[in-house]
């Protein structure tokens, strides 16, 4: 049996939508904000428990 080629000549390629690639450009903003919120949450828990 012959393996079908992904794109036949004369046809357009089907582009898959990748969820990771759509949000990876936001990481330099999201990571510090989430880190700061997590630090404040953990510090407030530590103060409340003390």
| Residue range 2-39, pLDDT digits in tens | 565 566 666 666 667 788 888 899 999 999 999 999 99
Confidence of residue 47 (pLDDT cuts 50, 70, 90): very high
The span from the CA of 36 to the CA of 42, in Å, is 10
The larger pLDDT score, comparing residue 49 to residue 21, is at 49
Contact 6, 13 (CB under 8 A): yes
Q: What DSSP string runs through 23-41?
A: HGGGHHHHHHHHHHHHHHH
pLDDT attached to residue 5: 58
pTM over 0.75: no
Is pLDDT of 1 > 60?
no
């Amino acid at each position: 049996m012959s393996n079908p080629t992904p794109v036949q000549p004369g046809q357009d390629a089907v582009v898959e939508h990748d969820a990771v690639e759509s949000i990876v450009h936001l990481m330099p903003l999201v990571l510090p904000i989430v880190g700061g919120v997590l630090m404040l949450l953990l510090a407030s828990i530590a103060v409340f428990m003390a």
